[in-house]
Amino acid sequence: MSMVRNNSKRDVGFAKKSERVNVAFSRAQELLVIVGCHSLFTQQRGQVGSMYSEVSNIVRLHGGFVDVSRLFC
């Protein structure tokens, strides 16, 4: 799932709607790989940031979080 929406306005667009995110994430039948700007999504205000922080925490808990930003420095 491409969540690459890093922009100067720090706007996540349609990804603000939990219903759309639920549909996008639930389409995966065997493996879900989410690619995007972690800080852009988890630092959103209110429910949006909470939703993505919870997803991030679950992924980390299961050892699935990979921060590749250090590879490109």
pLDDT digits (tens, 9 = 90+) for 19-39: 999 999 999 889 999 998 899
In this prediction, residues 41-55 reach a mean pLDDT of 94
Q: How do the domains of the chain map onto residue ranges? A: 2-67
Contact of 40 with 16, CB cutoff 8 Å: no
This prediction has a pTM of 0.82
Helix (H) or strand (E) holding 72: none
| Distance set, CA 70 to CA 66, 67, 73 (Å) | 10, 7, 6
Amino acid symbol at 13: G
Letter for the amino acid at 53? Answer: S
Q: Is the pLDDT of residue 62 over 80?
A: yes
